[in-house]
Amino acid sequence: MTQRRNFAWMDLLWLAFLAGVAVLPPWTDIIHKQLILLAIGVFQIFEYRVLERFPERGRSYSVIVKILLGSMLLDHTEKILSPYYLIYFVPVVTAAMYFDLLATLAWTTLTCLAYWSFLFWELFEDIDPATGLCRYEITMEDTIIPLAIRALFFFLAAVVVNRFVTENRQQMTRYRELAETLAETNRRLEQAQEEARRSERLAALGQLSAGLAHELRNPLAVIKGSAETLTRKLSSSDPITTELAGYISSEVNRMNALVTRFLDFARPHHLDPHQEQIPALIERGLKAARDRWPDAKVEVERQFSPDLPEVTLDGDLIERVFTNLALNAYEAMGSNGGKLRVAASRSSDGKRGVEISFQDTGPGIPPALREQIFNPFFTTKESGVGLGLSIVSKIVDDHHGWIRVSSEPGKGANFQVFLPSGESTDPPKHGDGEKAEAR
């Protein structure tokens, strides 16, 4: 139902038709006839206000008001013999537009009763006081059949209009559902394109990282060996040189650890899939994050659906995913603490699998950074190298799932992970690596 709020040309056309009816005969009680027609026109134009004021009963009130105004018009224009009985098509058509078929038939029946009531009123008024007999003659041809035909046309118009309106509503519903489906499809397509771009970036940077790491390890090994040789030869004669050689050795060890992270990111994960319970893996990830942040004032809220299926995956790698996401939440909320809501449920998009979400109450992620946080070497921390979420994303991709983030600045971030429940096609060999760093 379209609610009109502006005076349109259809309103002018409606008033013009009613003005034409007003100037036509009969001219008996012409003032009342014109006032009633004016009331019908004004009510029709401002009917939307009734519907706004009474959203549940406004349609019924509208039909009742039109029946009453139509009855008043007949009462001032020859009653049952009035040529204005056609005014009853207005409430009949209104009911057909607003209600279903059964309700339309009920309102049409009420309209017919309102029209036929003038016949009974005519019989009551035309009684001869002397004889007590009715002087109004009711005949089959002149009275009963014409009234029956008019009533049938009321019902015919109601059914035709209602069928048209119902089909139009159904068509609009189909169009709306189609538009919603297209919008959802476009949204998923955009997400798939974003995930494909991220996977391409990860693959390219992974190859670069692998090549760079291998090239760095040889000179690092030479530097470390030279530093250790200097330490052994100069340990007694030159303590300052020995101390500097120790610094070189420790820094080389740190560089080697960083190179190991690069290789861990670049190395393809060979999954060792088994049937796993998602809640158990989440609990282990939360425990690992709590061990890293024992003093954090974080309240963890768990919401695990009771009907979660077992998922075929590499438990160690997925535990790393949950650990990193929990660490992200702990670090985002910091010393001020907050609430971490962890939920797991069956997939809501029709796919077979489990959706897991980690939602914190931290400061959130700025819109400009949301697409970059999964990029390798992107970090907002002073001491981070930006590989945590990249490795998380790579592990999820290797399991043929997806990871997404949504956030409102100042209201926290929500990381969602989908893991399909199908069997993995990777060979059963597990490459263990160092835990990925949180962002």
- pLDDT tens, residue by residue, 182-191: 998 898 888 7
Distance CA 348, CA 410 (A): 27
Q: Of 339, 325, 352, whose CA–CA distance to 411 is shortest?
A: 339
Distance CA 430, CA 438 (A): 22
Q: Which tokens hold the place of 56? A: 């549940």
pLDDT at 18: 78
Task: Map out the domains of the chain as residue ranges.
Answer: 9-138, 270-439
pLDDT at 61: 93
Q: Is the pLDDT of residue 431 over 70?
A: no
pLDDT at 284: 93
Distance CA 399, CA 424 (A): 7
Distance CA 37, CA 69 (A): 8
Q: Is the pLDDT of residue 127 over 50?
A: yes
The answer to whether the peptide bond before residue 366 is cis (omega within 30 degrees of 0) is no
Q: Is the pLDDT of residue 131 over 60?
A: no
Q: Of 239, 381, 399, whose CA–CA distance to 312 is shortest?
A: 399
Distance CA 239, CA 10 (A): 100
Confirm if 129 and 101 have CB atoms less than 8 A apart.
no
Which architecture, in CATH terms, is 270-439?
2-Layer Sandwich (3.30)
Supply φ then ψ for residue 432, to 5 degrees. -80, 140
pLDDT at 251: 80
94 vs 232, residue with greater confidence: 94
- Left, alpha or beta for 420 (phi > 0: left; psi -120 to 50: alpha)? beta
pLDDT at 6: 56
Sign of dihedral through CA atoms 306, 310, 316, 322? Answer: negative
Q: Is the pLDDT of residue 200 over 90?
A: no
Q: Is the pLDDT of residue 77 over 90?
A: no
pLDDT at 216: 74
Q: Which tokens hold the place of 55? A: 């959203």
Cβ neighbours of residue 289 under 8 Å, at least 6 residues apart?
323, 326, 327, 329, 330
Distance CA 412, CA 340 (A): 10
Q: Is the pLDDT of residue 261 over 80?
A: no
pLDDT at 426: 44
Confirm if 43 and 69 have CB atoms less than 8 A apart.
yes
Distance CA 198, CA 363 (A): 24
Q: Of 84, 82, 97, 92, whose CA–CA distance to 37 is shortest?
A: 84
Average pLDDT of the chain? 80
Three-class HEC string of the chain? CCCCCCCCHHHHHHHHHHHHHHHCCCCCCHHHHHHHHHHHHHHHHCHHHHHHHCCCCHHHHHHHHHHHHHHHHHHCCCHHHCHHHHHHHHHHHHHHHHCCHHHHHHHHHHHHHHHHHHHHHHHHHCECCCCCCECCCCCHHHHHHHHHHHHHHHHHHHHHHHHHHHHHHHHHHHHHHHHHHHHHHHHHHHHHHHHHHHHHHHHHHHHHHHHHHHHHHHHHHHHHHHHHHHHHHCCCCCHHHHHHHHHHHHHHHHHHHHHHHHHHHHCCCCCCCEEECHHHHHHHHHHHHHHHCCCCCEEEEEEECCCCCCEEECHHHHHHHHHHHHHHHHHHHHHHCEEEEEEEEECCCCCCEEEEEEECCCCCCCHHHCCCCCCCCCCCCCCCCCCHHHHHHHHHHHCCCEEEEEECCCCCEEEEEEEECCCCCCCCCCCCCCCCCCC
Distance CA 372, CA 369 (A): 5
Amino acid at 320: R
- Vertex 268: Cα angle to 264 and 270 (nearest 5): 110
Q: Of 219, 218, 254, 249, whose CA–CA distance to 231 is shortest?
A: 249
Confirm if 356 and 319 have CB atoms less than 8 A apart.
no
37 vs 356, residue with greater confidence: 356
Confirm if 345 and 392 have CB atoms less than 8 A apart.
no
**Least confident interval from 185-189, 236-240, 378-382, 390-394:** 378-382
Q: Is the pLDDT of residue 231 over 60?
A: yes
Q: Is the pLDDT of residue 425 over 50?
A: no
Q: Is the pLDDT of residue 354 over 90?
A: yes
